[in-house]
Structure formats: structure tokens, C-alpha cells
Chain A
Amino acid sequence: MNQIDRRTFLKELGIISGTAMGFSALDPIWVHAAGATLRYGVNSRDIRRLDPMAGPNSNDKTVLAAIFNGLVRTTPGEVNAERLEPDLAESWESSKDLKTWTFKLRKGVEFHQGYGEFTSADVIFSLERAKDKKTNVYYKSYQPFGKIEALDKHTVRVHLKSPQTALFLLPTVLDWQAGMVLSKKAAEKLGDKLKTTPIGTGPYEFNEYISQEKLVLLRNENYFRGKPGFEKVEFRMLPDPSSRTLAFKAGELDIMDVDREQRSIDQVKGSGVVIESFGPASVHKLHIDRNRKPLNDLRVRQAIAYAINRDDIVRFIGQDVAEALYSVIPAQFVGGLDPVPEKLKYNHDPARAKKLLAEAGVPNGFSIDPVYISERPQFRRPMEIIQNQLGQVGIKINLSVIAHPAWHTKNDEGSNPLVLRAATRFPTANFVLEEFFLGGGKRNFSHFSAADAELKRAQAETNLEIQKKLWREAQIKILEDVAAVPTHILNTVVARKAKVDLGFTKLEASLSGGLPIKWNARLT
């Protein structure tokens, strides 16, 4: 039990009696004394998807990351597919042809709420569920999976239909998305209720959920790495940034999501507060529909690229959050283009843009009507800047701000000539490249296919260096064709009280969507 020390107690008392009506925005003192609750204010209306395979969004993922484990995990604080660690699997090995993978499982790990010991049966159950499109939205990543068998209670062998290198196989069994291991017994007992009652092996177990208000996790006393540092972890849904900031400053929250703009960060900065800005980077790019006149002219697309001033966008959003992006795959990703050739950076040059437009036959510019954008500030505000910048060279955009889901519909049906799309994917190049730039893809808003050869060869390739070279070539082709203009990347920003120790030294990236809550995180 934490004891409140005298000074803190008196300080709290002093603040309370200092306010006019005797009311205070501070929490009652006994919350701090009771034996550490970690209070996390999330930027979300609700935490809805508690089934890892049902397509959780980033806030759901933060919760799930504390509840589940995978066979492997990333080193806490970073996300590097070339450096993964054991989690529920103690060790693993593959056959020479990379088609058979054997995992040795940890012994003595217990599921939450008495659902028994973790065994191969649970791994097989989870992976079979992951293969099934009816139960897993990410089933495509599991298509190479063939037969999965248990060699004994603590050994699992996976047979693949095609060879997979460690770089591609291990992320599918990571403590992330569909790699999270579910309890077979719980699934059998709960049936459909499994979707709203997550049962995992992680440091914290699911306890209570009040829609649009809070979600509570309790300490898993039997966690296999050690006794977790908090008795309770409480997620409070606070989509309104002012309320969240105020609650944090008043001591009602220990951690809070920060809106990804410098202004929001500046409001929270202060003594005793640490601002964590981490990846994986959210890649923002402006797709240009190459099938539409006059965007089908390369010179027009180049003009758009030259008209855009990334520095202004980054300055608007803020240095602590954003960084200019020169290729659709950031340099820090595996397979990122680094360095980007100078002339493919299309550095801000409005004069050159106007010249190109003249060459293309539209010296006085032209208008695009309408261009749809989501009402969410993360998209709308940079788009307003881009609208302004394009206007400076004569390209007039009639911006129609619509609801976020409606915007997606417009993009998917091809009605949006300029799509400012963001993507937060696993930091290996192929995910973004294949999703957005492979011919025929549903999200290939640019209708681009010139890099199909490179991308398809990279898919079949098992030598990492060759794969990286192919991905780089694809990116160069994308830049030469200006299928999309990469604008910026956004980091995830979370503020925490300095007294919250995360349990590891540096936070560079985390797949959990928000701040990772590891078992050894605690209050100092």
C-alpha cells in the first residue's frame, strides 16, 4: 500500500481550502492512498472492440495490449521486426525451406479468471481463428498458414504453404492484432460473449466496462513475468481535449492522450510532466487520381508537388509531433528510401509549379470541384493548408468537409480526386506499398500500377536485402510519377506524470496504439 506522505497530504488540503466554494477539481485524497491505480485519459468516445481480431482501433489496442500476450513480442520501447523477443514462446526455429516453424511454449502460464493453463491447444485455437475470415479481419496475413499441430502440451508446429522469412512470419504471432493468444476454454464457455469479455494471459485482466465512460482492468497477480505494478488500471474516455487536459493538470489522470498538435502539447507541458512522442509513424500522403483530367498529366501532378510546402504543414502541426516526409515509406521503416534523391523531393517552388502548369496547357490554373475531406481535424486542418498552397499557384480546390465515414466511402468509390490518407502500419515497407500502390488494390486511390513488377517480386523473395532494394525502387517510381505526394508523418503523443515509470528506458515506438502498459510499470 502506498502511504501518502505528510507533505502531499497537506498540499492537497491547502489547495482544497484555497478555492472559493470549498469544491475542488482534484480527486479525493483517498484515491492516491489506496494502492496505486493508473488512470489513463484516452482520446476516444468509447473503447469498443475488445476482440483483437475484430479490428480494434488504436485506443482499443492499448487496452488489449495490457490484457494479452503473443508468442513473441517487440523489445519494450521499440518496434523493430528484425529484433523480436520471446513472449509466450520461449524459443522457436524454422526448417531450412522456411516452411515449417516450431515454437516451444512457456510452462506454468495461467489465463485470467481461472481459465486454466496456457497450452498448445490455445495457440492452435487462436491461429485457426486467425486464419478464418469470419472471425479475423486480418485473415489475409494468415493465408500462408497451413496445418498447425501440437507436438506436445508445450510445443506447436506451424506448416506454411509458402516459405516465410522471420521478418514476415514473426509479426503474425506478435502480441499485436491477431497474434494475441486467446483462451480456448474461455471461447468454448463464453461463445459469442468472448468478443466483449477478453480473457488473456497479460499483466492486467478485464474487470469492468461502462460504455463511453470508463474501462477498468485489475492486476493479474499470477503474471508470469512478475507482479504487475498497479492494482488497477482505469481508462477514462475523454474525447474532449479541454476536459482531458484539465483533468490531467488537476491530478485526476496520470496519463493522457495528447491531440497531435503542438498547441495541445504546449497546454500540457510543465514540471512533473513528460511528453512521449513515439512511432510507428503515421504516414500521410496526398493521393492524386491519375485517371482524372487534368491530373492525368504528369506535369500537373509535379506542379502540385512543387506547390506544397511541407515545412509550413510541419510548423503548423508542431515539431514535437510531425516531421516532413519525402517518400511514402519513412526512412526509419525497414525498406524505407534513404536518402531521397534531391530532385524527387519536390521542394517548395511555386514559380516552378506555375511554369509546369503553363507547359501542361493550364497557365491560369484550374479548379477541382469537389475535393472531399474528413471533418476530423487531423485531416481537415492540413488539407486547409494544402488548399491554400495550391491556390497560390492557381489550382482552386472546392473543399467539401464531410463526416469521416462518408469520406472513406467517397475515397473507396473513386469519387475523390485528391485523397489525404494516413496509414499507421507495421514499420516494414511492403504493408503501405502493397495496400496503396499495387495495381487493382481497393485502396489504390492513385490508380497507379507502374511498380507492380517490383512489388510482386519482393513478395516472392526471401532475401531481405533484395526485398529492400525492390521496395526502394518501387518508391522511386512512385515519386517519379507523383502518384502521391508524401507530406508528413505524425507521431503518437502521450503525456505522463514523471512519477509514472514505464518499466523501460526509452520509448521510441509502440504497437499498442497508446502508451504501452507493461507489467513492470509503476509509480515512483
Chain B
Amino acid sequence: MAETDQRRNRIVRAIRKNKTTMTGIVLTLLILLVALFAPWLTPFDPLEQNIARGDLAPGGEHLLGTDNFGRDVLSRIVLGTRVSLVISLSAVGLAMVIGALWGIVAGYKGGKIDALTIRFIDMLMTFPTIILGLMVLAILGSGMLNLSIAIAVAITPRFARIARGSAIALKERDFIQAARALGMSDSRVIVFHIVPNIANEILVVGTLWSATAILQEANLSFIGLGVRPPMPSWGGMIRDGVNQLLFQPWLSLAPGIAIFIVVLAFNMIGDGLRDVLDPRTVE
């Protein structure tokens, strides 16, 4: 126990030293705050239409202009933060829990379950994320929940694979063998011994995939299978604005910058974590 504590402290110190990670963490916290307090931070009602004041250029009251329906672009981007984060983070959460459990059970139990699992994982991973997402959304229909599920379906196999690998490795360790010799049931072994040891790794991978999840949400919304109107979504806003790129470029360009900032923040954290936790690159 003391060993893991020491290890954790070392990691935390290393993280703090890493400038990239710290920037990423600070940015992410800011973004999370924006998402949390979005409804109070919007200068205008993001859903209120005012057709007479549509397509206004940035400046004056509307810092980023208005869209075709007369809605304030800045407010929609702010609300979109919440939408994006809720969808991607819940997708990652879902994928983590289901993927890890699935992978652990498969790796631990072995045999037929494992063989089937690895084939199924391979098959799912054959599809590029976007195609898988398209298929799931085409079946389920649009909406925030379905978008989450679609993205989760695409990334669950990755978690399953990692969890499976770790479970296989752990299975042979002494303390696991001991527990089993003592007659502990499989489920207790999994819950009390395997899961805690895998948790760290899964969480790290989770942060890494959060960035991807946000990008995938943008991709799917851009294709047109995103959240239901009138909720704003960054990818959806880019899509709506793309036809007027020539004359009202801010409609597409502004949300894209938002996507970039959020994904960059998550990538910075993930990058730092990867550096810090990989023993070979720590000098």
C-alpha cells in the first residue's frame, strides 16, 4: 500500500513539473466551468430566434454575430460547450465501464468467451470510428443520448482490448493465485483484486480518448447526425454555416476554434500523462 502511495506522489510531482500537462489541466478546468455554468454565462438566450436580426456580422451587441435565425453565435458556442462535453465524456465513461468489464471478464475467464471476444473486438475495430458512428446513429436516430452511444460503441473495443491484456497478465500473479487457492469466487477476485489494479491504466486511456470523443462528436454533427434542434452543437453549427462561408464565414469559423481549444486541452493532459506514466521516458 505504501508503495502505491509513494508512486502516486511521484507521479503527481512529475505532472506538476510538466508545463504542457499543467496548461492542459488549467484549460480543461476552465472549460468544465464554462460547461457547468453555461446558462448563466450566455449574453443572449442561445435558443431565441429573431429572424429580423439574422446574419449580423460580429461586433456590437453580438460579439460573434448572429446566425440565420437571429440567434447569438457566442451564446450558442458557450452552450455548445456543455453539449459537447456531456456527450463526449459520457461516451467515454460508458465505454470505459462496459469495455473494461467486458475485457476483464474475457481475459480472466479465458476459453470460449475470450476467443469470441477477441474476434468481435477485431471486427468492430475494423470499422473506422466514423463509419461505426454513422451506422449506430442511422439506426437509433439523432439526439444527445444516441450520439453518446454511437461514440461509445466505437471506443469500447479499445478499452476492452487493454483491459483484457491486463487481466491476462494479472491472472498469473501470485496474489491472484493465492486468492483463488483460498476459494475466492471469480467475481470477488475480479471486483476486489483485478479492477483496482487496472483502474489507473484505464483512467489514463480514458483521458486520451476524451479528446477523440469530442472530435468524433464534431465529425458526426458535421455530417448532420447530431443533436436535436434547437440545441447547438459545434459540429452542427459548422455544418449550417458552411454554405455561407463566402459571406458569413464567422458562422463556421468560430465554432471550429472552440473545438480546437477543447480538444487541445484534453490532448495536452493526455500527452503529459502518457509521458509521466511511461517509465521509459522518465529520466
A and B touch in the complex (CB under 8 A): yes
Chain A residues contacting B47 (CB-CB under 8 Å) are: 388
Chain A residues contacting B228 (CB-CB under 8 Å) are: 398-401
Q: Measured between alpha carbons, how far is A263 from B243 in the docked complex, in Å?
A: 9
Binds A, one of B50-58, B72-80, B151-159, B208-216: B50-58
Give the shortest distance, in Å, between A259 (CB) and chain B (any CB): 7
The answer to whether A403 and B242 touch (CB under 8 A), given A380-B229, A384-B230, A385-B69, is no
- Give 5 new A-B contacts, CB below 8 A, not counting A241-B243, A316-B69, A400-B143: A246-B246, A263-B247, A267-B247, A400-B142, A400-B228
Q: Is A128 an interface position by the 8 A CB rule?
A: no
Of the candidates B55, B138, B141, B245, the one whose C-beta lies within 8 Å of that of A242 is B245
Residue in chain A with minimal CB distance to B47 = A388
Of the candidates A245, A387, A403, the one whose C-beta lies within 8 Å of that of B246 is A245
Of the candidates B69, B242, B243, B245, the one whose C-beta lies within 8 Å of that of A384 is B69
Q: Measured between alpha carbons, how far is A384 from B230 in the docked complex, in Å?
A: 7
A402-B142 in contact (CB<8A): yes
Of the candidates B141, B242, B243, the one whose C-beta lies within 8 Å of that of A402 is B141
Q: Is A435 an interface position by the 8 A CB rule?
A: no
Interface residues in A262-280 (C-beta closer than 8 Å to B): 263-264, 266-267
Of the candidates B138, B229, B247, the one whose C-beta lies within 8 Å of that of A399 is B229
Q: Measured between alpha carbons, how far is A399 from B51 in the docked complex, in Å?
A: 20
Interface residues in A229-282 (C-beta closer than 8 Å to B): 241-242, 245-246, 259, 263-264, 266-267
Q: Is A452 an interface position by the 8 A CB rule?
A: no
Give the shortest distance, in Å, between B68 (CB) and chain A (any CB): 7
5 contacts between A and B (CB under 8 A): A245-B246, A263-B68, A400-B142, A401-B224, A401-B228
Residue in chain B with minimal CB distance to A401 = B142
Give the shortest distance, in Å, between A263 (CB) and chain B (any CB): 6
Chain B residues contacting A214 (CB-CB under 8 Å) are: none
Chain A residues contacting B247 (CB-CB under 8 Å) are: 263, 266-267
A400-B246 in contact (CB<8A): no
Q: Is B244 an interface position by the 8 A CB rule?
A: yes
Which of B52, B54, B68 has the most chain A CB atoms inside 10 A of its CB? B68
Chain A residues contacting B141 (CB-CB under 8 Å) are: 400, 402
Q: Measured between alpha carbons, how far is A266 from B141 in the docked complex, in Å?
A: 34
Chain A residues contacting B48 (CB-CB under 8 Å) are: 388
Chain A residues contacting B54 (CB-CB under 8 Å) are: 316
Q: Measured between alpha carbons, how far is A267 from B245 in the docked complex, in Å?
A: 10
Of the candidates A263, A267, A380, A403, the one whose C-beta lies within 8 Å of that of B138 is A403
Q: Is B49 an interface position by the 8 A CB rule?
A: yes
A384-B52 in contact (CB<8A): no
A385-B243 in contact (CB<8A): no
Chain B residues contacting A461 (CB-CB under 8 Å) are: none
Interface residues in A379-395 (C-beta closer than 8 Å to B): 380-381, 383-385, 387-388
Of the candidates B51, B55, B69, B143, the one whose C-beta lies within 8 Å of that of A263 is B55
Chain B residues contacting A312 (CB-CB under 8 Å) are: 51
Residue in chain A with minimal CB distance to B138 = A403
Chain A residues contacting B52 (CB-CB under 8 Å) are: 315
Q: Is A85 an interface position by the 8 A CB rule?
A: no
Q: Is A149 an interface position by the 8 A CB rule?
A: no
B68-A387 in contact (CB<8A): no
Q: Measured between alpha carbons, how far is A242 from B245 in the docked complex, in Å?
A: 8
Chain B window 108-143, contacts with chain A (Cβ cutoff 8 Å), 1 for yes, 0 for no: 000000000000000000000000000000100111
Give the shortest distance, in Å, between A43 (CB) and chain B (any CB): 11
Chain B residues contacting A387 (CB-CB under 8 Å) are: 229-230
Chain B residues contacting A375 (CB-CB under 8 Å) are: 224
The answer to whether A267 and B230 touch (CB under 8 A), given A316-B51, A385-B69, A400-B143, is no
Chain B residues contacting A400 (CB-CB under 8 Å) are: 141-143, 228
Q: Measured between alpha carbons, how far is A440 from B138 in the docked complex, in Å?
A: 31
**Across chains A and B, which 4 residue pairs bring their CB atoms closest together, nearest first?**
A388-B49, A312-B51, A241-B243, A384-B229
Give the shortest distance, in Å, between B92 (CB) and chain A (any CB): 25
Give the shortest distance, in Å, between A175 (CB) and chain B (any CB): 34
A242-B243 in contact (CB<8A): yes
A316-B68 in contact (CB<8A): yes
Chain B window 202-220, contacts with chain A (Cβ cutoff 8 Å), 1 for yes, 0 for no: 0000000000000000000
Q: Measured between alpha carbons, how far is A399 from B48 in the docked complex, in Å?
A: 16
Chain B residues contacting A315 (CB-CB under 8 Å) are: 51-52
Give the shortest distance, in Å, between A458 (CB) and chain B (any CB): 39
Give the shortest distance, in Å, between A44 (CB) and chain B (any CB): 16
A401-B229 in contact (CB<8A): yes
Which of A264, A398, A401, A402 has the most chain B CB atoms inside 10 A of its CB? A401
Interface residues in B241-269 (C-beta closer than 8 Å to A): 242-248
Q: Measured between alpha carbons, how far is A403 from B223 in the docked complex, in Å?
A: 11
Residue in chain B with minimal CB distance to A398 = B228
Q: Measured between alpha carbons, how far is A316 from B68 in the docked complex, in Å?
A: 8
Q: Measured between alpha carbons, how far is A385 from B49 in the docked complex, in Å?
A: 8
Q: Measured between alpha carbons, how far is A400 from B142 in the docked complex, in Å?
A: 7
Chain B residues contacting A388 (CB-CB under 8 Å) are: 47-49, 69, 230
